[in-house]
Every structure is written in C-alpha cells, then in structure tokens.
C-alpha cells in the first residue's frame, strides 16, 4: 500500500485486498497479492490459463475464502 498524503484515494476505492492468499486444497495459487480497484477506472484481469484469475475473483467475492489477508469494500468483508 502506498502512503498517501490525503484520503482521496481511500474515498474512491471500490474494492481493496491486502496480502491476499488463495488456493485449493494443498495448492497455493496466489501466495500474496494486494490491490485497489478505484471508482471510475477500468480494471482488467488478464493472464494465461491456470494463472489464478478465477481464483482471485472467487477470493475477492468471498466465494472461496482466502487463506490469508483481507478483502475490503468500505470495511472487511465476511462470508455470510
């Protein structure tokens, strides 16, 4: 995370992940990832087959619980 002099970026953040780790069974697909998705910006998730795109989306949506880290949408998200 960048240290910001003001909170403008925080106010425009739609979704944020900090030190997110995810995988299936014994296989760790995403060892550690931090990201911010900003309002009004286009965000693309690209990569070759098997690179973890679907795993990341499932972890961000809390369909597959992350092994470590946090996902925020204004506050930490909890799976219901």
CA gap 53, 30 in Å, rounded: 9
Q: What domain count does the chain have?
A: 1
Q: What is the mean pLDDT of the chain?
A: 85
The answer to whether position 77 is within a domain reads no
Output the pLDDT for position 11: 75
Q: State the CATH number of the domain containing residue 50.
A: 3.40.50.300
Among candidates 59, 77, 11, which has minimal Cα distance to 39?
Answer: 11
Place of tokens 């425009």: 12
The answer to whether position 4 is within a domain reads no
CA gap 16, 60 in Å, rounded: 9
The answer to whether position 25 is within a domain reads yes
Output the pLDDT for position 34: 97
Q: Provide the whole-model pTM.
A: 0.76
Domain with 44 in it? 9-72
């Amino acid at each position: 995370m960048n240290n910001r002099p003001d909170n403008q970026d925080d106010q425009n953040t739609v979704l944020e992940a900090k030190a997110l780790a995810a995988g299936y069974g014994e296989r760790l697909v995403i060892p550690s990832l931090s990201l911010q998705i900003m309002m009004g910006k286009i965000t693309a998730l690209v990569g070759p087959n098997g690179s973890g795109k679907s795993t990341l989306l499932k972890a961000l949506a809390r369909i597959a619980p992350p092994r470590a880290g946090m996902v925020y949408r204004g506050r930490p998200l909890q799976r219901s």
